[in-house]
Structure formats: structure tokens, C-alpha cells
Structure 1
């Protein structure tokens, strides 16, 4: 047997994630878990791991095969995306948040639109 640790995090700016749980599926067996680190004792060998947040339905879905080594702990780091419905990130090192640039562009466009509408007297 070996141990798989899945360290799940989300962007600090996305506070709504804190209110949700995660769906983790290992080799087809679903487990609902919380943000942070969750440990799974598994037989040695490759395991198919799927993770997704329950925020706005199913957000940040990602799938990977992780080899678990007998007598050792393997850690996988999952990071939820900045924008709902984008894929998350998972890997052997802490992951960057996907969608940060898109979120900045979206907010900038919305702010500019409100400013323009305000100047035109439409808002």
C-alpha cells in the first residue's frame, strides 16, 4: 500500500469556493471532500484521479493518472480555476491558477463599459 495526498486549493479572490465541496474520483470510486489536504491509502500502481469543484454545478474538472508507490506518500496539488467552467490544474507541485488573465480582461472590459455608459448618460 501507498498513500496519495490530494492538496486542493482555490484562488483567494474566489471566496465562494470556500462554501463548496469537491468531488474526487479515484479509479471510478467517488468521494466528496473539502478544500485542503485529503489522504487516500491505495494499492501501489497507477490510479486514475478526477477532481472537480461543486461550485456552480461542476467547475474546474481535471483528470490525471497518478502512480502510487508502495510504502511512500505521493502528493498531487489541485488548483481551481479563476473563472467558473474552466478546467482546473493538477500536478506534482503547487499549481498556478488557470484563467487569471482572462478574469482580469473580463473585469477591465466590464469596468470600461460602465464608465463609457456612465459618460454617455445611459447608466
Structure 2
């Protein structure tokens, strides 16, 4: 169910629990700013989630409240994962869902990294 991205951070969300080690994940990268792991329901041959370690609900929350070093560190982590997975040359897609209209399902900011095949158009046209 999509969430309201303006709600306060919920420490019981699944990504917060993964960060605390309460739920296992298939980790591909971790540094002081970010954790990256395989999605449990992949939508492409490569489908990795990259999450900041800070308590941010959405892209809007993260961009408005994270310190500059954390924003830069997170963006660098996303790029590192794409390079490490061999996705740069063939291409890949980044997706961040925000709020109910964006169909955000977990109230912890995260970026989906998709690759491994041609992905087609982003949205269907009316």
C-alpha cells in the first residue's frame, strides 16, 4: 500500500529493521552513508535497492534535511554500486518513488537500481 511521504519516520519499517540487522538482506555494498542489497522481488535481472543509513522518509525529506556530506556520500554509493555491477556501459535505470501518487511502499527513502536488459519505456503512454 502506498504511503504518505510527509508522515514522520517509522523505526519499525522494513529497511530500518534491515539496517539494524533484524532482517537479513543480500548485501552488495555498504559504507558509512548507504546500504545496497538485492530486492526480494526483482523486476529486472539486476534490481538493487540503495538506502541511506539516516532516518529519511522520502527523496524530499532526504534532500531537505540530510547534511551535504550524507547526500554526496549516498549519491556516490549509488554510482559505485552501478559500476560494481557492470551496469554503466549497457545502461541502467534509477527510480525513487515518493508518496502515494508515486506508489512509495516503504517509508524509508530508497533508490531502485534496475539493469541487466533493455528496460523499455518508463511509463505507458495514454
Q: Could you say which TM-score interval applies, normalised by the shorter chain? A: under 0.3
| More strand as a share of residues | 1
